[in-house]
Amino acid sequence: MRIRELKLLLALLICAGSAIAVAQAANPVPPEIDAIRQKIANGTPLTPEEQTSIQAFRAQRAKETREAWLKDHTPQPSTGLIALPDLETGTYKGEQGGLYPGGSNVIPVRHLKSGIKLARTVRPLDAVGHPAKDGKIVLLAIGFSNPFMEFPVFMKDAAAEKSLNPHLVMVNGCVPGMASSTIANQEAQYWQQVARAIKDAGVMPQQVQAVWLKEVVPLPKMPFPVEAKQLQSDMERTLHILHDRFPNLKLTYLATRTYGGYTEVGGSPEPWAYETGFGVKWVIADQLAGKPEMNFDPKKGAVEVPWVEWGPYFWTDGVNGRKDGFVYLREDVGDDGLHPSPRGQVKIAKLLVDFFANDPTTRPWFLARGGAGKTGGE
């Protein structure tokens, strides 16, 4: 098994949920396994015996985690909660629905125009960030385990599109096990891993002009809106880091968690998965309100962050779905009920391709000039 795959297996344990902490307390990690985990973290190749040991450890811990979680929790195919776009002016625990302030699902015209204007300035850049006919436009993904699994499928599907911009390079900078608070720490090792992913893709930080961002607060326990507010804060700090690290970054698209009611290991269960939508909404609302720390327009002062927008909203009420017909079924997640199965990865990738091929702020650079976007979606 490759080191990348082992890192994913190990990280799935880390982000699985509070139940794993219980299991670890009852059964401490053996020193030999701890040593193997350190080798994985350092990118050191494992011997066949070590690979067998870590896989056996992973299987045992997964069993313990599931048993501990299911003792007090039952997976649920739906919650009765209403997706933000469907909630509109209705409320959830005192907070109004809709993707934008006022219960609206329509992006404010002024913000949309700003995004389109920026999108039209995206162009192929060389390694030092200068316009070049043979340059690259980098779309970078930032996030944790779920987007780590979803983004490669999106990359594959997008690459099959005849209308895709030939200058576009998509880089999966997501790393399993990364909490939003870790990503929001500019000193975290996570950013070294992102830099490595960019280098491995044969591009440079100066060529990153768009980011897809999906984050999560793992192990939520506090009542609403505590964790949603933490996610908002972490995302805004992440946007500052992105601005500082990628000098030509112009546009960032924020996504929510998918339905979390099927989890058998904790991690990001309901209703917290649902509540991530409010955290994203508040980030965008802060930029719409013109808060200085969320400024993207040099005419209004120092630029602190890129322009932000939904990209897209993923949550739906499991089998009950939402008004547009999008549902998220048990077969859309893997054995743990938390991470997307191959079917779920394809479903999310399709939504992403439809979004990037059709949104007016992505079409100018995602597609080749004159390319036609896809329509529809699930």
Return the pLDDT at 27: 64
User: Residues of the chain with pLDDT > 70: what percent?
Assistant: 90
**Strand-pair partners of 211:** 140, 252
Report the pLDDT averaged over residues 346-354. Answer: 98
Q: Where are the beta strands (DSSP E) in 100-226?
A: 137-143, 168-172, 208-214
Average of pLDDT values for 133-161?
97
Per the listing, tokens 């591009």 go with 203
Residue 38, pLDDT score: 85
d(CA 180, CA 228): 11
* Residue 371 pLDDT class (50, 70, 90 cuts): low
pLDDT above 90 covers what percent of the chain?
77
Q: Picking from 56-65, 236-245, 283-292, which range would have the lowest pLDDT averaged per residue?
A: 56-65
SS3 category, 140: strand
Alpha helices in 189-247 (DSSP H): 190-200, 226-245
Instruction: Please tell me whether residue 253 adopts helix, strand or coil conformation.
Output: strand
Q: What is the mean pLDDT of the chain?
A: 90
Instruction: Report the pLDDT value the prediction gives residue 19, as an integer from 0 to 100.
Output: 40
Contact criterion met (CB below 8 Å) for 283 and 277: no
Q: Which of 48-52, 141-145, 223-227, 329-333 has the lowest mean pLDDT?
A: 48-52
- Over residues 276-294, the mean pLDDT reads 98
pLDDT value, residue 8: 52
140: tokens are: 């970078």
Q: For 299-323, how does the pLDDT look when each residue is reduced to its tens digit (9 = 90+)?
A: 999 999 999 999 999 999 999 999 9
pLDDT(37) > 90: no
Q: How much is the pTM?
A: 0.86
**Between 59 and 161, where is the model more confident?**
161
Instruction: List Cα–Cα distances, 145 to 66, 123, 177, 333, in angstroms.
Output: 18, 30, 6, 13
Q: DSSP letters of 2-65?
A: -HHHHHHHHHHHHTS-HHHHHHHHHSPPPHHHHHHHHHHHTTPPPPHHHHHHHHHHHHHHHHHH
- Which amino acid, residue 211? V
pLDDT at 376: 37
Which one is predicted more confidently, 69 or 213?
213
pLDDT of residue 17: 40
User: CA–CA separation, 226 vs 238, rounded Å?
Assistant: 18
- Does residue 370 surpass a pLDDT of 70? no
Can you give the pLDDT at residue 375?
A: 38
Asked if 138 contacts 198 with a C-beta cutoff of 8 angstroms, the reply is yes
In order of 19, 51, 136, 243, 328, the CA distances from 186 in angstroms are: 29, 32, 25, 11, 34
Q: Are 294 and 235 in contact (CB under 8 A)?
A: no
- Residue 266: pLDDT band by 50, 70, 90 thresholds? confident
Contact (CB, 8 A) for 279 and 231: yes
- Rounded to 10 degrees, the C-alpha dihedral 179/184/188/189 comes to 60
